[in-house]
Chains A and B, each alone.
Chain A
Amino acid sequence: MGLGTYLRNIKDAALTIGDGMAVTFSHLVRKPFTLQYPDRLPDGVRVQDTLPFRYRGMLEVDLEICTACLACERACPIDCIVIEAEKDKAAGGLVMTRFDIDMAKCMYCGLCSEPCPTGSIHHTPEFEGADYSLESLVRKFVKAPVIAYKPKKGGETDPEIAPILERGMRYVNEFASPEGGSTD
């Protein structure tokens, strides 16, 4: 090691340490990024509302647009979704008697929402799922038997269901499509 290298090493050490210290010092005069969850958010802001659309929180099912196709049940790798549906001629279609999701088992992989044709099953930004028993983590969506949704030709016209379906399709397009989402 020549004297030149020796002195250059010293110079480099001093300059790089100095610049590193300038970087860290600049952070001391900047605002921290931390959000003080849960009690020091700005007024009227829930932290759930600030999460991105793609956030994978608790699963939710919009029964109004669920076709009872069982695609989600089949897609679930750990069988945390249980659906019971039977053909009922009198009622005019499939009648769901059970739609349970065991959130204690769910691993938030999102595979169930991908094959859903209407975007009925989807993740919400809700993440505060702590509870006192495993049983209460099973979400039961069917309170009373319901008739499964049937897609209509030419688009949905019912003003109550149309916005839900629109939201579901947006979810499927943006999040659950294999391409990763087109934002039309």
Chain B
Amino acid sequence: MQELVDSLVADGFVPGGLPLWVAYLGAMLVFGGIVVFVFILPIAGVTTWVERRVAGRIQSRIGPNRTGPAGFLQWLADGIKSVLKEDIVPSAADVPLFKLAPYVVMTGFVAAFVVVPFGGPLIIADLNVGILYLTAVTALVVVGILMAGWASNNKWSLLGGIRSAAQIVSYEIPAGLSILPVVMLAGTLSMQGIIGHQGWAPWTWHVFDNPFTFFAFFILFVSALAEGNRTPFDLPEAESELVMGFATEYSGLRNLLFFMAEWGNLYVIGAVVTTLFLGGWQIPLALADHPVPRIVLQFAIFFAKAYFWVFVAVWLRWTLPRIRVDQMMIMCWKYLVPIAFVNFMGTAVWMVLFPAGVPAVRVLLSLTAAGLLVAFARRVVFHVRRALLTREELSFNPLSTARVMSRG
């Protein structure tokens, strides 16, 4: 980013006499605006549509299908509706905090995109503290949620805010401990540096580097889901207990901002997991020589990997019921944190024992993952077959058992 502005200044695109910081500021606003409006907003919106379609099919329904082809424009219609709704502030609320909270949440979410890579050289700022910065700014979300919970002056909101604070602060620890092995392997905190340390092939990814990183990957994903307040960890907004948790009193645009941050966060989770463990935007060099198709290809591969994990998060949400608060804490402190510690220490020992890595272990772990996928696919086929066999008993389809009666 900075290099681009420097080269523009050197080429004389920026009017002379303009202080350099003004050029930087302008560039930041322009590119920030492009990323927010061209990428983040549509991603968060389309994810709501994907979520509802997938949820529908998982529950043998159809999902939204009236607005545009396959209901694709539903997210736009919902967004417009939300923006046009009245913005109600409860009379007992702490008004400044109440109004500020959604923007704090939104800031924490959008600021993460500063270091989220898009593919190849496309990144807003390749900070040398990249992943540390990302964990820091996403923790800002908890401030906004706590603020919303407190300022709403409502018992549900307060409980939601407190639960969210407990949850996000707890799960920062396994998430951080699962990031550390990767940082040790790559020797850098920079997102581009971490991706550069991996190759395009699965066996060069960090996730298959050694058995410890393999488990660290899953711990990071689970912790990230918990930090993003996603089911099965959606205790802060648990609909059946807390109405809508910290967002109960919000309406219109402010409510929209909360939920945009939640769905947008899914993409951030996918992008972080992809960057740290799954080879990021790396493609085989032979695929493209010209920089433009190469960048497009890199963007596509990164986006596909990241969005796959968005899909997995949606899929998990409609598979698992919400867990209890004590179960959530047990899972964090008794399972994820100790195992993450073992992974952290184990990776350190592994790096001392095998400074160059063990190619056999990498290939073996890749094959294990492939084997798990095959086993999973066979399980899916089993369930589909079973459903077809027992369709008559399990379900009542009015069209297949139609009995047209004669009217008297």
Bound Cα distance from A20 to B319, whole angstroms: 6
Which residues between 70 and 125 of chain A lie within 8 Å of chain B, taking CB atoms? 122, 124-125
B384: which A residues are within 8 A, CB to CB? 26, 29-30
Instruction: Knowing A49-B402, A163-B408 are in contact, say whether A28-B316 is a contact too (CB < 8 A).
Output: no
Bound Cα distance from A20 to B387, whole angstroms: 14
| CB nearest neighbor in A for B381 | A26
A23: which B residues are within 8 A, CB to CB? 319, 383
Asked if B31 lies at the interface with its beta carbon under 8 angstroms from chain A, I say: no
User: What's the tally of chain A residues with a CB closer than 8 Å to chain B?
Assistant: 37
Q: B60 contacts A27, CB within 8 Å?
A: yes
B319: which A residues are within 8 A, CB to CB? 17, 20-21, 23-24
Instruction: Name which of B41-49, B274-282, B391-399 contacts chain A.
Output: B391-399
Asked if A154 lies at the interface with its beta carbon under 8 angstroms from chain B, I say: no
Q: B315 contacts A33, CB within 8 Å?
A: no
A28: which B residues are within 8 A, CB to CB? 54, 57-58
Q: A26 contacts B387, CB within 8 Å?
A: yes
Instruction: Knowing A45-B399, A51-B398, A52-B403 are in contact, say whether A17-B320 is a contact too (CB < 8 A).
Output: yes
Bound Cα distance from A21 to B317, whole angstroms: 10
Most buried by B among A22, A32, A42: A22
Asked if A50 lies at the interface with its beta carbon under 8 angstroms from chain B, I say: yes
Cβ-defined partner of B58 (8 Å) among A19, A27, A62, A164: A27
Cβ-defined partner of B398 (8 Å) among A27, A35, A53: A35
Asked if B290 lies at the interface with its beta carbon under 8 angstroms from chain A, I say: no
How close is B312's CB to chain A, nearest CB, in angstroms? 9
| CB nearest neighbor in A for B316 | A21
Bound Cα distance from A161 to B398, whole angstroms: 31
Q: A53 contacts B405, CB within 8 Å?
A: yes
Q: B62 contacts A36, CB within 8 Å?
A: yes
Q: A34 contacts B320, CB within 8 Å?
A: no
Bound Cα distance from A164 to B319, whole angstroms: 51
User: What's the tally of chain B residues with a CB closer than 8 Å to chain A?
Assistant: 34
B397: which A residues are within 8 A, CB to CB? 33
How close is B332's CB to chain A, nearest CB, in angstroms? 13
Asked if A144 lies at the interface with its beta carbon under 8 angstroms from chain B, I say: no
Q: A167 contacts B402, CB within 8 Å?
A: no
Q: B379 contacts A32, CB within 8 Å?
A: no
A164: which B residues are within 8 A, CB to CB? 408
Which residues between 46 and 81 of chain B lie within 8 Å of chain A, taking CB atoms? 54, 56-62, 65
B85: which A residues are within 8 A, CB to CB? none
Bound Cα distance from A183 to B109, whole angstroms: 64
B408: which A residues are within 8 A, CB to CB? 62, 122, 163-164, 167-168
Asked if B406 lies at the interface with its beta carbon under 8 angstroms from chain A, I say: yes
Which residues between 9 and 26 of chain A lie within 8 Å of chain B, taking CB atoms? 9-10, 17-26
How close is A35's CB to chain B, nearest CB, in angstroms? 7
Q: A32 contacts B61, CB within 8 Å?
A: yes
B285: which A residues are within 8 A, CB to CB? none
B369-404 vs A, CB cutoff 8 Å, 1 = contact: the mask equals 000000010011011100100000001011100111
Bound Cα distance from A24 to B379, whole angstroms: 11
Cβ-defined partner of A26 (8 Å) among B316, B383, B402, B403: B383
Cβ-defined partner of B404 (8 Å) among A21, A34, A49, A122: A49
Cβ-defined partner of B380 (8 Å) among A22, A32, A47, A125: A22
How close is B12's CB to chain A, nearest CB, in angstroms? 55
B62: which A residues are within 8 A, CB to CB? 32, 34, 36
Q: A125 contacts B387, CB within 8 Å?
A: no
Instruction: Knowing A17-B320, A32-B57, A163-B408 are in contact, say whether A25-B315 is a contact too (CB < 8 A).
Output: yes
A36: which B residues are within 8 A, CB to CB? 62, 65
Cβ-defined partner of B61 (8 Å) among A24, A34, A124: A34
Q: B57 contacts A27, CB within 8 Å?
A: yes
A167: which B residues are within 8 A, CB to CB? 406, 408
How close is B251's CB to chain A, nearest CB, in angstroms? 30
Q: List 26 A-B contacts (CB under 8 A).
A: A10-B335, A20-B319, A20-B320, A22-B382, A22-B383, A26-B380, A26-B384, A27-B57, A27-B58, A28-B57, A30-B60, A32-B57, A32-B61, A32-B62, A33-B61, A33-B395, A47-B398, A49-B402, A49-B405, A50-B399, A51-B398, A53-B405, A122-B408, A124-B407, A167-B406, A168-B408
Given A28-B57, A33-B395, A122-B408: 5 more A-B contacts, CB < 8 Å:
A10-B335, A21-B319, A22-B383, A47-B398, A50-B398
